[in-house]
Structure 1
Amino acid sequence: MKLQYAAGIDIGTQGTKAALFSLDGRKVSETFERSRLIYGGPGEVCQNAGDIYGSVLRTVSGLMKKANVPPEQVAAIGIDGQMAGIMAVDSDFEAVGPYDSWLDTRCEPHINKMKDKAGDEVVRRTGGQITYAHGPKILWRKAERQAEYEKIAKFVLPGVYVAGKLCGLKAEDAWIDYTHLHFSGFADNRRKQWDEGLLSEFGIGKERMPEIVSPWKIVGRLTEQAAKACGLTPETKVAAGCGDSAASALGAGIVEKDMIYDVAGTASIFSCSTDRFTPDLKSETLLFSRSVIDGLYTPLAYIGGGGLCLKWFLEQNGKDYAYWNEQAEKLEAGCGGLYFVPHFSGRTCPNDPRVRGAYWGLSFQHTTAHMYRSIMESIACEYAYYFSILKRHNPGISPKYIYGAGGGARSRIFCQIKADALGVPYRPLREADTAVYASAMLAAYGVGIIDDLKAAMKPSLGEETVLPDKDRYEIYRKKKKNYVNLLETLGTFRGEIRRGE
């Protein structure tokens, strides 16, 4: 029987999504299950490994029930997942402890230790800044969970854990794909290998680090038990997969250099593709991530809770996004001098835990609508700052468009503000959830039923291109400068307050 379908699974912060696609890119069915985030003590955010795996079994099973497709025709599964968090397995691929979320900040002391000991070298080798990601989280676990640490055979990502369980693998089979290396803390990103000098410097045994592979590598087949739970067959193959941001960019068609990509979701992520690996040693802001397309990089920076700030606003003030977008659209650019700081959990790019959320510049002329619009303007100012750094690294970069995905890309006023702040036309994608499509096509490519991965990634564009306005660009150019100065001032101020406590 001809193999005609591939499934993609996206293990996100808010939940697990699965979708089934035919080889021509048509979505056949999809399912979603919300995540259960566990908030413990100060800074603690984690997920139960069993919850993550169970969510995949249930969403794929639901997918197949909806699709009414013979399971024998589903060739492969591809999985993408959260990137900066880390988990671990023992020799039998059983989870050792929970998944330490990217939102978890308990590793903060080890961020400072890594910076003090070899900060520039970590950035130079990995391409990523030292933040709440694998390196500091591994060091935190070694220092604070010693008994647990001794049981660890390999550190893995959530998508790898799920794939390993689906295929009945052992720790010796564990892997990490190269799109995660900028978050690793210990890898030579350019060479796609572990850096033995960094591992030795921080006392991490290389034997605990998984093999580095290409995202389309086929890592196994479903076990009888997993196939039955998913409604598939043991002949269904599983690909190594990649990070969720990498999958999202790939599915959006970011496969050539000089393409800006905006993920307007829980996190607000700005990236722009380039064929040059130029780690950001000076401003310590951009993370030089690898694209799934080998030889292409997608340097990025993000606000940990950009989209969450808009959600927070709605929770405090009622009404829906449509209402507040309409109110914001009536206001002039600049919000009458009102600034908002979206770093409720600390600034990530660059890392500065002293910075916290704030409104600054409030006056009696400001309304609740100004407060809503200022959240969007703050995110756009961050993006403009990120873009200015990228242009210093790559003076010849000349993107034609910003390609936007995520819920925020459905807001015309948000798209307009970003276009104005960056001076680049904004093209919203019709399909906001591009990651599951990319993961499915990666798996199809891995088993050889599609032969051109780049050709399969054709962005589904919305009908309207939002053009920037020159006058508003000048307003935001000045506001961006003031905004960055405000962040630095607030960080210094809070540092002084904390020292005085």
Structure 2
Amino acid sequence: MAVDLGTSFIKSGLYDISGQCIAEAMEPVRDERPGPGIFIQKGEDLFASVLACMKQACARAENTGGTVEAIAFTGQMSGFMGVDKNWNDITTWSCSLDSRYMPYAKEQMELHKEEFLKTGGTNFPQMAPKYIWFKEEFPEESKKIKKYLMISGYVIGKLGKLDIDQAVMDTSYASWTGLADMNKGVWSEKICGSIGLEDKYLPRMVSSDYICGSLSEEYAKLTGLKSGIPLVAGAGDKVSGCLGAAIVEPGDSIFEASSYGEISCCVEEYRPDMEERRLDVLAAAIPGLYYATHFAAGSGITLDWAVNTFVRGPEENLKDAFIRADHMAAEVSPGCSGMMAVGLLGGSSMPLDGNLKGVFMGFDWSHGTGHFYRSLLESFSYDFSLALDRVRILYPEYKWDCMKMTGGGAKSKLWPQICADITGITHTTLDRNDVSMWGASILAGHAVGIFPDMKETAKQFVNDRRDFEAKHDMDEVYEKQKRIYREYTEIMGGFCEKLSASCVRSAVL
């Protein structure tokens, strides 16, 4: 069984040894948004959704609950939770959408920016500033906390009724905490010491195939499973997805065209991008490997917004609206006749610029809806291509001549071709849409000896669907546009900041 701990939904799936999902279920996760920048998800609500989802999956696969051999976890990789000695939620689960910690993050970045990237592997940590935020803003509550965790560690501890000292976090989550030494795979004494966090409050760091405990009798009865099933650490959704998509050899790469689009390039060591700061690093589920990674915050959310706002008709479903947007954009020539977008509506994460917002520029009366939509597709492709350029410089020993593509964007007949043309390399879509869940299932099977070789298992059960080869007749146009995109993203943050400040002053007046 794989359990995916998402922001909006919990998903669970039962897989057989041939890689087929024989039953799946999904449960919404309740959240509270009492004010601007506040996004609260209570641990008890999350856990209730997990139990309901596991129970549903078992019910849909009749008479299989007793044959589940292991359970592994995947899901959101960026957040923070503090619990007491009895696993009671003290802080609530604070994911990346909960921005109350931002003033503390900015202060930490001024002090520890270089160390966070050089040692911790990230341009913008989550757990490190959220620890300070909660300690300063809620001092009495923070005294009750015994462990700071990721959401998967909380769920595993509850399902297995573990002692609090048995709390774990698998290494795939370590980077975005900002607290780890990524080359050594341990908590960084230097970083933790600099913010006053004792390591006794941190979970034990373990491998993704580590068996953390076993399903308790109480929760076995509630879910329809047998008690004693091994609970396997699993990996964050980005890393688990790389395993499920067979991105398991140095030189492999993938573009996950999802809500938070991301490229991940498999490498054998971490080399920080101190010059341009376009890359983070994630520890792979397979020991000894890493992913040099770059994500565009909210890229898929921006495309949803564009289609819903400018394309979708009153009675039209979203899928049909996306297809129509693709058709309109396909009629537009590469480079959008001199028009360009910056699609980073939520700011730039790599390199970090929270002031940057969305921009359409260079348009006149000749530009239509197709131009605007295509310009967004091109903008994200420029962004990822600039990151891939840094990967090529930092890791010249690999060819980087092909990139797999998954996620909602891979369903488009246009965007993979744009990506191929702008990066200059073939983009290949896959025949699986469940790579994160399947990756977690591989980890579960490996932990109990069903899949002895994770690499071979991953390669065996995913196939290429379609190749989009780069068309080099537009290289000159796209290279010029990419340079312009880079120049504008470097300077536009300041203009956007002035606009925001002007709006704030107007609101006050």
Structure 1-normalised TM-score?
0.95
Q: Is the 8 A contact 2:37 2:99 kept in 1?
A: yes
Larger mean Cα displacement after TM superposition, 480-489 or 208-217: 480-489
Sort the Cα spacing of 1:14 and 1:428 in 2 relative to 1 into closer, same or farther, 3 A: farther
Deviation at 1:497, TM superposition (A): 4.8
- Secondary structure in structure 2 of the residue aligned to 1:431: coil
The one-letter code matched in structure 1 to 2:13 is A
In the TM superposition, what is the alpha-carbon distance from 1:130 to its structure 2 partner? 2.5
2:378 is matched by which residue type in structure 1? Answer: E
Letter in 1 for 2:351: P
Structure 2: unaligned runs, 5 residues or longer: 314-320
**Sequence identity (%):** 28
Please name the residue that 1:422 is paired with: 423
1:184 and 2:177 equivalent? yes
Structure 1 residue 450, shift from structure 2 partner = 2.0
1:454 corresponding residue in structure 2: 455
Matched position secondary structure for 1:288? strand
Please show how residues 203-352 of structure 1 align to structure 2 within 5 Å: 203-317=196-310, 318-319=312-313, 320-352=321-353
Letter paired with 1:291: A
1:449 and 1:302 map into 2 onto residues whose CA distance is: 33
**Residues 153-172 of structure 1 mapped to structure 2, 5 A cutoff:** 153-172=146-165
Match of 1:479 in 2: 481
Question: Hey, what does 1:63 align to over in structure 2?
Answer: 57
Gaps (5+ residues) in structure 1?
A: 1-6
Contact 1:427 1:461 survives alignment (8 Å): no
Cα RMSD, aligned residues only: 1.6
Distance 2:198 2:324 in 1: 54
Tell me the CA shift for residue 125 of structure 1: 1.0
Partner of 1:391: 392
- Distance in 1 separating the partners of 2:363 and 2:256: 29
**Paired residues of 1:127 and 1:280 also in contact (CA < 8 A):** no
Q: Secondary structure at the match of 2:117?
A: helix
Q: Which of the pair has the greater relative contact order for Cα pairs under 8 Å at 6+ separation?
A: 1
Give the Å deviation of 1:172: 1.0
> Are 1:401 and 2:368 matched, yes or no?
no
How far off its partner does 1:262 sit? 0.8
Q: Name the CA distance, whole Å, in 2 between partners of 1:335 and 1:69.
A: 56
AA partner of residue 479 (structure 1)? Q
Aligned to 1:3: none
1:100 is aligned, of 75, 80, 94, to 94
2:183–2:269: 8 Å Cα contact kept in structure 1? Answer: no
Matched, 1:173 2:163: no
Partner of 1:4: none
Give the corresponding residue for 1:195.
Answer: 188
**8 Å CA contact 2:217, 2:228 repeated in 1:** no
Q: For residues 370 and 498 of structure 1, do their structure 2 counterparts lie closer, same or farther at Cα, with a shift above 3 Å needed?
A: closer
Instruction: Measure the CA separation in 1 of the matches of 2:416 and 2:323.
Output: 14
1:123 paired residue number: 117
| Contact 2:328/2:369, CA 8 A, preserved across alignment | no
More divergent stretch after superposition (254-263 vs 275-284): 275-284
Alignment: residue pair count: 494
1:152 to 126, 142, 145: 145
1:323: Cα distance to partner? 1.2
Provide Cα deviations, 1:332-369, integer angstroms capped at 9, x if missing partner.
Answer: 11112222222222221122111112222221111111
Deviation at 1:462, TM superposition (A): 4.2
2:222 counterpart SS class: helix
